[in-house]
Chain A
Amino acid sequence: MRVLVLFAHPAQRKTSINLAMADAARRMDGVTFVDLYADYPRFSIDIDREQERLLAHDLIVFQFPVFWYATPALLKQWQDLVLEYGFAYGPGSKKLAGKRLLASITTGGSERDYAVGGGNNHPIEQFLLPLRQTAFLCGMEFLPPFVLHSANHIETAASQAHIEAYANLLAALRDDVFDLDSAQQSSMLTRDDVARLTRR
């Protein structure tokens, strides 16, 4: 599959694991990497260019840190502007139909927070309902999100493993060797799932 990574992070500090993941994606062959905040620092999104990018790829990856249970502001604006009526939805004009959407997210809260009875009281995938429904309305397949919890407090070894797993996941999807049918059985993907579902 032709892979497009749309990375959205408004505060790219060197210590951010999200930034390291982005760098890994940026370096990959056969993967188009876009830093939305670098392309549109004033939020003036080029709608035509973004729509052409979408049409030229089969898998769209939203890579972002979760802020207040949602995407960063620019990625929300991107959805508002790029997924136009007559392009992404509307009668006879679902130009994105058949494509796949993957969210690669990091959360500040722990796995325990994102559980019934936890501080956030709901598993993370439930907070992604708007994205899932957006994909559905556009006729896209919404893949289980690739999630890293406790992103600010992770040990070095684990973070390294997550970054590698992210690169492997993108490569496997690019090369069509990722078992999507089995993946759809899970509510979310972790770094362990990547190795398990890759069929090389």
Chain B
Amino acid sequence: MKLVGDLLKRFTRMLAIVLLVVIGSTVLVRFAPGYFSDVREMDPRYARSARAELSVESARSNAIIPLLSAEVGGWLRGNAGISRQYDVPVLDLILPRLAVTGSLMLRSIALAWTLALCASLLSSAGPHPSLLWQMPATLLLAIPTAAMATMCLLAGSGGPVLVMSLLLAARDFKFLDRILRKTWLDPHLLYARTQGIGVTRLIRAHILPSIASQLSALATLSIVTALGALAPVEVIFNVPGVGQLAWSAALNRDLPVLLTVTMLMALAVTFAGVISDRPAEWKNA
């Protein structure tokens, strides 16, 4: 019962966060400079139709409450509203891109975790943190994602998965190395090592179970980091995903699209948070 109550509480908290995100995004975008402007206004050939579209948007978005209810209405109708930029239902824009972005994220996170786990297992086996491992990780964290993506593009090698993976692996490695280094020094592991138990068995039977909850928290961090890197990576590599759509929507002040993307991201982050918290509590229970 306690577990169900707790889950309900978390679900309510998740909904509240999403609602706040909706209100915050609507207010921010609606009052962003240039909301009521269109680049075609500057072109005498297209200025007239741009102004006509703007006057429709102006009537629709004049007050924040009707605007919010119109956007929520879009969700209730099941199409998430109509994109201002493309004039099509937002869900039609987002659904095909979700698969692209999901695949990019999954592959990046999988590769990043493999790299980070291997590197941290090797690194943590030594007595002291080694510069050989720490330096590249620090360097990778210092390079902005967009710069790394641009370098790959100019060099003509590597792609979005590699850039995202390196970014995530560097971050994950820092945490994993610290966790593993501490775990290796646990008294029961020291004792097991003196008894001659193999490293593989130690990792599988002792280390991984004991750091499961920390790994789960780190997984959430990976998702959040990957979501943050999505827009620059997808824009630079021209990946037709949600990040690219969000970037274009921001440049064009496309509120329905931005709202939906922000909501999806908020849902992903809060849901990952809920999931990552569970193992520790289940264990405690």
A and B interact:
no
A residues near B, CB below 8 A? Answer: none
